[in-house]
Structure 1
Amino acid sequence: MLPAAAAPAAWAQALVAPETLPHDLSPLGMFRQADIVVQAVMLGLAFASVVTWTVLVVKLIEFALASAALRRGVGRIEAADTLRAALAEAGGSGADARMLRAAARELNRSAGGARLGVGERVASHLAQVQARAARQMGRGTGLLATIGATAPFVGLFGTVWGIMNSFIGISRAQTTNLAVVAPGIAEALLATALGLIAAIPAVVIYNVFARAIAGYRLQLAEAAAGVERLVSRDLDRAAAGGRV
């Protein structure tokens, strides 16, 4: 039993406590009522999430177009009997066309000289083309890895900052009423949730693109092998006195 003098104070606290609760506990409402630092963290994580999905859409289109073009290029290389015939069929600035032009330039530079070493020089040029094409295809995926690795910690920072502010508010209010404490903690935990929302898709999409780049590298290697076979045939025909 509370003393008679204490009862009105307890009832008054019970009536006032709900008034201290924020009226809007939706994610948008908690964002508006959060500390400026927590708001900045949330905005940064939301921007990172938008960047992740933008990279997904752009890279999916880029992968689809490049892979289809390279697949057609490999088919043209395999169907050709000479490097000149393959060059006549190749068009545009795809990786297969760049490999064919690089091989033709090296053959022209080596014309009239010894055959020894021509194959190695052609292979070196083809390796450079492969590396550049793979590097170009991988642009933007490093950003996904960065977001996936840092977003949870950024969200955790926002949560720690928000919880510190909540405890400061508790000390100032001189109350441990859960109804007063919970809203501030919920606002802080929203930052961690946003960090996970940004990080999880980024990690998954990065792994998907890593496998796609590995497959694209295999296509590049297949195209390079086809070009090397064409060069070898042309060199053998030239050595035998045939028409290249």
Structure 2
Amino acid sequence: MFDLKCSMQAQLDNLWLKPEDLAGGLGIRVSSVRKWLDPELDCMPVKDAFDWISDQIEKLGDLTLQCLNDANDSYEKFGQHIVRWYRDEDLPDTEPGGLYNLASRLAADQLAAKGIECSTVYASRDGEWIEQNLDFSPDIDLKAAFAAQADALGVPTSEIAAALGITNRSVKDWKNPKRDTMLPVDEAWDFLDEYAEALDIRTAELLESMPNPMPYHPMTRLGTLTKQQRIDNRAAQAAARQIMGDGKVVVDFVYV
């Protein structure tokens, strides 16, 4: 049986969107969206919600094209292809930051597929700052690069902090461009690399077994998941994209 609630959760996750984004887009309370996603409640998602998600899919294509154009412009200006990474304060409250960052990631992936390296900077950086730091490191902006890798893996700040035995504030400082002397330590990068490896392993397992529908974990009513549940869901998304890559198969998702 098609799982409408899980389908909505999977679509939001695939677009790097949160229940708060959907609630803001529809002008409703976040609690209403969480009820739509809760498998223990009979409250089902409305058509307007899926229409809004469809609009975001179309918007993602436009944003990705804009990111590619901006990266090419930066090459002409700075001699490097650069993609922007957005913090919450870089966009109006009405704009979903996750969607903008996903567009940046997709643009970077498309450039990489052509053998073109690109660097990441925070969207708030100006041209003068970029030019002054071009020779600082291959990533230009280590804070933005760290935030981008963590976001792409879906790793929350709290999990990085817990793994390293430090405070959330320390991890936030590594991402904060105003704390320019606080850079992510080697152990933090190692943690993200290990997380990515675990994600790749789980994705390979799903590609081998090819379940359809794909198992997916529902969030708690507080919007949380365990580390393994996050890995499972990200892997399910990655496996589904590969399976559906030829356009011949449709993969559904079901709550477990």
The alignment's TM-score, normalised by the length of structure 2, stands at 0.25
Q: Which has the higher contact order (CA 8 A, sep 6+)?
A: 1
More strand per residue: 2
The two structures have a TM-score, normalised by structure 1, of: 0.25
